[in-house]
Structure 1
Amino acid sequence: MSRVVLVLVETVNDYLPLLEREGFVLILAPTAASRAEAIASHGQRIDAVLTRGPLGLTGEEMAALPLLKIICVIGAGYEQVDLQAASNRGITVTNGAGANASSVADHAMALLLSLVRGIPQADAGIRRGEWNKLRLPSLAGKRMGILGLGAVGQAIAKRAANGFDMSISYHNRQPLPGTTHTWCASATELAGAVDFLIVATPGGGSTRHLVNGPVLDALGPHGYVINISRGSVIDTDALIAALASGRIAGAGLDVFDHEPQVPDALKTLGNVVMTPHMGGQSPEAAQGTVQMVVNNLVAYFSGQPVLTPVSLPASL
C-alpha cells in the first residue's frame, strides 16, 4: 500500500520526485488555505507530513490525522512542531540536521563579508556615479564567536579558521568534546570575547532572546552580529536600539521574527545587510534535505531506526 505524505513546504518541488520514486503519494499544500483544505479532505489517509520549522504542525492538526505516524522537518529547526502532542500520540519526528549546513555556512560568510566590507553601499555608490573608497576592517585574524556549534556552526568555524585565520570561540550548553575551539559559559561571555558573533543555534522557547541588550553591549561598538538561525534568538527591539545608537557596528540578518514582514526600522539603518531567509536555499541543499526525508521515511516504514530523530518530551 502506498504511503501518503502531506507536503507543507513550498521550496523543494523540483526534488519531490525523489519521494515519488520510492512510491510515496504526495499531497501538496504549501499555503494556509490549501493546508486546511488538505487536512479536512484527506486527513483520514495521511501517513506522514513534510514540513519545516516555522510552518510546523499543531496538536490540533495532528488530531485530525488519525493515521499520522511520522513528521519530517526540512532543516534543523522544528520550533513550531508540537512535540508534546507528537509524543502523546507516539508520532516520530525527524529533522534535516546537517543537510543544508554547507549552504547556510556559505551564506553566513557572505553576509559577514558584505557587512564588514560595505559591499552593498559600495555597489550602490557606483551605480549613483560615485567613487567612494571606504577604509573598512579586514576579516583576517579576527575573533569569531559562534552561538551554537552544531553542524552549521562547525561548517562556519571551518571556513573562518581555515579561510580567514580567525580564532574560534563558541557557546553551547556544554563544551563540545573533541574540538579545539574555546568554549564560553554564556552568550554574554562569548560576545565580549569576539569581533564577530554568529548566531547558529536552533530557535524555540529555550533560545528566545538569547541575544539581548546585555549581549549586544558586550559585543561592543566594533562588533558585528550575523543571524542565520531564527529571528526569535535575537531581541529585535534591543538589536535595533543597539544599531541605531552605534553600540554595535552592524548586523547581517537572514531571519526575522514575523517573516516575511521585516520591521521598517531595520530597513532604514545603513549598518544592516538583510536577505529573505535564503541561507539554506541552494540546489544542493534542497536535494540534500529532501533526500534526508526520503531516507527517514524509507527507514521508518521498513521498520528501521530513523536517521535523524528529534528527542521528544515524555508523553502525558
Structure 2
Amino acid sequence: MKPVLLAITFLSEEHRAQLAGFCELIYAPDAAQCTAAIAAHGATVQAVLTIGSIGLRADQMQALPRLSLVCALGAGFENIDVAYAKAHGIAVANGAGTNDDCVADHAWGLLLAVVRGIPQLDAKTRQGVWRTALPLPPGVSHKRMGIVGLGTIGRKIAQRALGFDVEVGYHNRSARPDVPHRYFADVQALAAWADFLVVATPGGPQTRRLVDAPVLEALGPNGYLVNIARGSVVDTAALAQALRAGRIAGAGLDVYESEPVPPAGLIELDNVVLTPHVAGWSPEAVQASVNRFVENARRHFAGEPMVSPI
C-alpha cells in the first residue's frame, strides 16, 4: 500500500505525477488548502513534504496521528518544529546538497548585477543612452568578500570567488579548520573588512536580523550586500535606510522579510536588484530535490537509513 503524502508546497504537474507514482498524494500548496487538507485527511497522512519557509508546526503534527516523516524539499528547515517531531518519533529530513550550485550561481549573478549596474545599463541602452553619458560601474575582481555562513552553499560561493581573484573571509558559529579563508567571530568586523557581504546562513531565531544597522554601517558606502539565505536574517527597514542615505552602495536580494510580497521600502531604489526567491530553482535543482525526497521517503518507509536526515 502506498504511503499517504501531504504536500504543502508548490509542485509542478510533472513532479506531482512523479510523486503520485510513489504515494497517495494530497496536494495543498497554500495555507488555506493545507488547513482544509489536514481537517479532511489528517487521520490518514503518513508523510508531509514542505519547505523551510513554510515549515510544519507542532499543532499541525498533532492533527496527523499517523505522521512518521516530515521532509523539507530544499536545505532549509527553520520553520519545522524539529524538537517536537523528534520527541514524538517523527523522522525529519531535507534536501541538503540538491540545489547548492544553483544558489551559489545565483548569488554571484546578483552580485555582478548590482555592482556592475546591469539592470540599469540594460534600461539605458534600450533608451539609446551611450556609455559616455553614464558613470563608470565598479569592478568586482580583486576585492574582498565576506560570507555570513560558510556551510555547503557558502563554500561554493567562496569557490567561485577564486575565479575573480576575490579574497574571502567568513563568519560562522565557529571557525572551520578545513578552509583557508580568514575567520571573523563577529559579523560587524567581517562587514568592516569586506567590500561585498554575502548572507548564506540558515534562517530561524538565532540569525534573525543578524545583519542590522550597525553591520550595514560597517559595510560602508562602497559596500554591497547580497542575501540568498532567508529574508529574516537582514533588517529590511535598516537596509532601506542605509541604501537611501548612501551608507552602503547597493544590494542584491533573492529573499526578504515580506515575501512573497515585494519589499515596499526597496522596490523603487535603483541600487537594489530583486529576484523572487528563485536562487535554488532550476530544472536540474528542483528535480534533484524531488528525487531526494522520494529516496528519503522510500528508505524511511522501508526501514532504511535516509540519505539526508536532520
Settle same-fold status: TM greater than 0.5.
Answer: yes
Q: CA deviation at 1:59?
A: 1.2
Q: Which amino acid aligns with 2:147?
A: I
Matches within 5 A, 1:127-138: 127-131=126-130, 132-138=133-139
Tell me, yes or no, if the aligned pair for 1:12 and 1:290 is still in contact at 8 Å.
Answer: no
1:120-164 Cα deviation digits (max 9, x unpaired): 111111222222443111111111111111111111111111x21
* Cα distance between partner residues in 2 of 1:12 and 1:185: 42
Q: CA deviation at 1:114?
A: 0.5
Matches within 5 A, 1:261-280: 261-280=261-280
* Cα distance between partner residues in 2 of 1:192 and 1:246: 16
Residue 68 of structure 1 aligns with which residue? 67
1:242 and 2:270 aligned: no
Greater mean deviation of Cα atoms: 192-201 or 254-263 = 254-263
Q: CA deviation at 1:258?
A: 2.1
Matches within 5 A, 1:109-124: 109-124=108-123
* Cα distance between partner residues in 1 of 2:125 and 2:206: 44
1:154 and 2:155 aligned: yes
2:291 aligned counterpart, secondary structure: helix
Tell me, yes or no, if the aligned pair for 1:15 and 1:286 is still in contact at 8 Å.
Answer: no
User: How many residues of Structure 1 are paired with residues of Structure 2 in the alignment?
Assistant: 308
Tell me, yes or no, if the aligned pair for 1:223 and 1:248 is still in contact at 8 Å.
Answer: yes
Residue 140 of structure 1 aligns with which residue? 141
1:78-135 Cα deviation digits (max 9, x unpaired): 1221223212312111111221111111111110000000101111112222224431
Q: Which amino acid aligns with 2:273?
A: V
- Identical positions, percent: 50
CA gap 1:142/1:12 in 2 versus in 1, 3 angstroms: farther
Normalising by structure 2, we get a TM-score of 0.96
Tell me, yes or no, if the aligned pair for 1:18 and 1:291 is still in contact at 8 Å.
Answer: no
Residue 225 of structure 2 aligns with which residue? 225
* Cα distance between partner residues in 2 of 1:159 and 1:274: 21
* Cα distance between partner residues in 1 of 2:87 and 2:68: 12
Tell me, yes or no, if the aligned pair for 1:16 and 1:290 is still in contact at 8 Å.
Answer: no
Tell me, yes or no, if the aligned pair for 2:237 and 2:265 is still in contact at 8 Å.
Answer: no
Over 4 Å off, 4+ runs: none
1:307 aligned counterpart, secondary structure: coil
1:94 and 2:122 aligned: no
1:11-41 Cα deviation digits (max 9, x unpaired): 44433444344x3221111122221121111
Unaligned 5+ runs, structure 2: none
Tell me, yes or no, if the aligned pair for 1:260 and 1:276 is still in contact at 8 Å.
Answer: yes
Residue 305 of structure 1 aligns with which residue? 305
Greater mean deviation of Cα atoms: 70-79 or 262-271 = 262-271
CA gap 1:31/1:122 in 2 versus in 1, 3 angstroms: same
1:265 aligned counterpart, secondary structure: coil
* Cα distance between partner residues in 2 of 1:5 and 1:39: 11
Higher RCO (CA 8 Å, separation ≥ 6 residues): 1
1:264 aligned counterpart, secondary structure: coil
* Cα distance between partner residues in 2 of 1:47 and 1:96: 19
Residue 313 of structure 1 aligns with which residue? none
Residue 211 of structure 1 aligns with which residue? 211
CA RMSD for the aligned pairs?
Answer: 1.3
Unaligned 5+ runs, structure 1: 311-316
Q: Which amino acid aligns with 1:95?
A: N
* Cα distance between partner residues in 2 of 1:212 and 1:38: 39
Residue 45 of structure 1 aligns with which residue? 44
Q: Which amino acid aligns with 1:149?
A: L
Normalising by structure 1, we get a TM-score of 0.94
* Cα distance between partner residues in 2 of 1:214 and 1:12: 42
1:27 and 2:26 aligned: yes
1:177-197 Cα deviation digits (max 9, x unpaired): 311111111111111111110
Q: CA deviation at 1:248?
A: 0.6
Tell me, yes or no, if the aligned pair for 1:12 and 1:286 is still in contact at 8 Å.
Answer: no
Q: Which amino acid aligns with 2:144?
A: R
